[in-house]
Amino acid sequence: MTYEKRNGIQARGTNTFRLTYKDYRETFHGSTAAAKKRRAEIVTDSDRGLLLAAGKAETVEALVERYLEHRIATGHLREGKPVNSYRSYFANHAGAVAGMRVGEVRANDVQKVLDAMTKAGLAASSVRQLGALLGGAFRYAMRTRLITVNPMHGVSLPQAQRREIVTPTTAQIAAVIGKAEDNYRAPLSLAAATGARRGEVCALRWSNVYLDGKHEGCTLDQVPHLHIAGTMQRVEGKLRTMAPKTRSGRRGVPLPLFAVTILEQHRAEQVRRRLACGPAWTDLDLVIDGGHGQPIDPDTLGDSFRRAAKLAGVEGVRLHDLRHAWATQMISAKQSPAAVAAFLGHSQVSFTLTTYVHPDAEMGAPIAAAAEAALGKALG
């Protein structure tokens, strides 16, 4: 049976039809009644602005990849760990919608994917991360006039659950570093002494270290310090030094005297290894290297910290928690919150105070003493 073309349905064989509407074409397999129903859906979708024109029938997977490339090209997303995380979330959890055409996706389709993640026991942050990726991709599709209605509208995300921040004490930090392998004690001590991120520690170069403090024109001149100018990331399987995400991430950080001593000893030990390696040494000027001058993966440094923490009986503490501890220690020592934020590489002091600084046992006594001084006589 062949339907008149003005009805937009033409038989192409047994239970195979060509459906048309304006500039849209679709081959449909099924019964005559089902073909008519599908044709009606096409008309409705077109009127709602959800129908992709011929040649633009892009899958969600292709859209997401194009969106990520766009974010990288415009400087809103960096290659390496951030974009790899997004791709991983999508590949592992978005299978039900990945192969769908963008214009066919409905809120219910996305909701099923996110609900399945929650039922599988994934953290709310993981579900929200995939939701954010899909939401961004669909907004990008709207801006480029691929669709006019965002299928994320009406989708419910699980409530964000803030991870409880663990702030190790000074004694715990010393115990963990004391249990670390010899070649990892210097970088772990450096992280504890400066609050630097693990990727920043791994990317640090000697040309940016001023152990004698002499650095004319620098605000930290005459104070032992280092300059953080990049972070180590794995991109397409290779370790690369990437620029900081923000302008505030490029910064100077003062060094305490014990860190100066540790770095001097580390540099002397590194020179001995370099001489022993001879031509086999990879000269990248890195402060922290993997034995022959080559960079080390920040994940490797994190693994070493976890092993040491387990040996020290301080489990549940991550390498990044040294950053929390540094911020808390500085605020507890009555250092300026603005200065602490600047040395951490934060552009907003409020973020530092709400994210990294938390009361602990070491701060309790001074707070109690202050309350006693203010209210003890009046209420005691």
Dihedral over Cα of 208, 211, 215, 218: its sign = positive
Please tell me the distance from the alpha carbon of residue 4 to that of residue 22, in angstroms, as a whole number: 15
Q: What is the pTM of this model?
A: 0.69
3-state secondary structure of 371: helix
Beta bridge partners of 233: 240
φ, ψ of residue 21 in degrees (nearest 5)? -160, 115
Taking CA atoms, 17 is separated from 8, 10, 101, in Å, by 10, 5, 19
What are the start-end ranges of the H helices in 236-360? 257-277, 298-311, 321-332, 337-344, 349-355
pLDDT at 248: 85
Beta bridge partners of 242: 231
Please tell me the distance from the alpha carbon of residue 223 to that of residue 215, in angstroms, as a whole number: 9
Angle at 260 between CA 257 and CA 264, to 5 degrees: 145
3-state secondary structure of 190: helix
Beta pairing, strands 24-29 & 16-21: antiparallel
Tell me which residue has tokens 């005459």: 222
Q: By C-alpha distance, which of 228, 231, 236, 210 is closest to 295?
A: 231
Question: pLDDT (tens digit, 0 to 9) for every residue of the chain, 380 residues total?
Answer: 444 454 788 888 788 888 888 767 777 888 888 888 888 888 887 776 666 554 456 889 999 999 999 988 888 887 777 788 889 889 999 988 999 988 889 999 999 999 999 999 988 888 999 999 999 999 998 888 778 778 999 899 998 776 677 789 999 999 999 999 999 999 999 999 999 999 999 999 999 999 998 998 888 888 999 999 999 988 878 899 988 878 888 999 999 999 999 999 999 999 999 999 999 999 999 999 999 999 999 999 999 999 999 999 998 899 999 998 998 888 888 888 898 899 999 888 887 777 766 555 555 666 677 776 877 777 75
Q: By C-alpha distance, which of 168, 131, 117, 172 is closest to 323?
A: 168
CATH architecture of the domain with residue range 170-365: Orthogonal Bundle (1.10)
Please tell me the distance from the alpha carbon of residue 156 to that of residue 133, in angstroms, as a whole number: 14
Compute how many other C-beta atoms are within 10 angstroms of the C-beta atom of residue 158: 17
Q: 49 near 147, Cβ under 8 Å?
A: yes
Angle at 209 between CA 212 and CA 308, to 5 degrees: 110
- DSSP single-letter state for residue 358: -
What are the start-end ranges of the H helices in 54-123? 60-73, 81-93, 95-98, 107-119
Burial class from Cβ neighbours inside 10 Å (0-12, 13-18, 19+) for residue 73 reads: exposed
Q: In sequence order, which residues have a C-beta less than 8 Å from that of residue 369 and are 6 or more positions away?
A: none
pLDDT at 264: 96
3-state secondary structure of 145: coil
AA letter at 245: K
Taking CA atoms, 50 is separated from 45, 257, 286, in Å, by 5, 64, 53
CATH no. for 60-143: 1.10.150
* Domains of the chain, residue spans: 5-48, 60-143, 170-365
pLDDT at 3: 47
- DSSP single-letter state for residue 20: E
Strands, E assignment, the chain: 9-13, 16-21, 24-29, 209-210, 225-228, 231-235, 238-242, 251-254
Q: By C-alpha distance, which of 38, 41, 22, 21 is closest to 30?
A: 38
